């Protein structure tokens, strides 16, 4: 870990989203304009990996570009394919309890994507510019 980036291996467990936010806190000061949005998106991506991917662990990487204040977050899991993005249940969109993580990425991140690593897994990443 440096002052501007951090990487952690976390168990595939529901509490890992909280651990990932602590990794983010080591990189992004609380007065950073986009730290709350970064924490939300990182939690969503970690939660998706915990819920939908296989394997015992996930990797979390966070970097901050201090020159512009931009934050990049990424989560690696052992599932090479991206899920269909389907939402749970048949409830109307406003009543759903799950299935909004990718919508949040689309709405809040300046950019995001998925980078597969052969059949070993994938990185789901996002970037937030300074506001």
In this prediction the pTM is 0.84
The secondary structure of residue 99, as a DSSP letter, is: -
Write the Ramachandran bin of 16: left for phi over 0, alpha for psi from -120 to 50, otherwise beta.
Answer: alpha
- Cβ within 8 Å of residue 67, ≥6 positions away: none
pLDDT, tens digit, 9 for 90 and up, residues 19-52: 999 999 999 877 778 999 999 999 999 999 999 9
Q: What is the pLDDT of residue 80?
A: 81
Domain boundaries, the chain: 5-83+93-128
CATH number assigned to the domain covering 5-83+93-128: 3.30.565.10
d(CA 12, CA 127): 23
Q: Does 98 score more than 90 pLDDT?
A: no
Average of per-residue pLDDT across 2-19? 92
User: Are the C-beta atoms of residues 104 and 41 closer than 8 Å to each other?
Assistant: yes
Q: Does 10 score more than 80 pLDDT?
A: yes
User: 42: which 2 tokens?
Assistant: 């990182």
Q: Does 88 score more than 50 pLDDT?
A: no
Query: Which of 51-55, 70-74, 79-83 has the weakest average pLDDT?
Result: 79-83
pLDDT bin (cut points 50, 70, 90) of residue 113 is very high
């Amino acid at each position: 870990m440096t002052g501007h980036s951090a990487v952690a291996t976390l168990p595939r467990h529901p509490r890992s989203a909280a651990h990932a936010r602590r990794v983010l806190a080591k990189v992004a000061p609380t007065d950073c304009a986009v730290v709350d949005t970064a924490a939300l998106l990182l939690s969503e991506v970690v939660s998706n990996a915990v819920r939908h991917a296989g394997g015992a662990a996930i990797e979390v990487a966070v970097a901050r570009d201090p020159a512009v204040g931009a934050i990049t977050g990424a989560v690696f899991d052992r599932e090479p394919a991206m899920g269909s993005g389907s939402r749970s249940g048949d409830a109307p969109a406003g009543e759903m309890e799950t299935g909004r993580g990718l919508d949040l990425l689309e709405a809040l991140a300046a950019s995001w994507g998925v980078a597969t690593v052969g059949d070993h897994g994938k990185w789901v990443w996002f970037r937030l510019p300074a506001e």
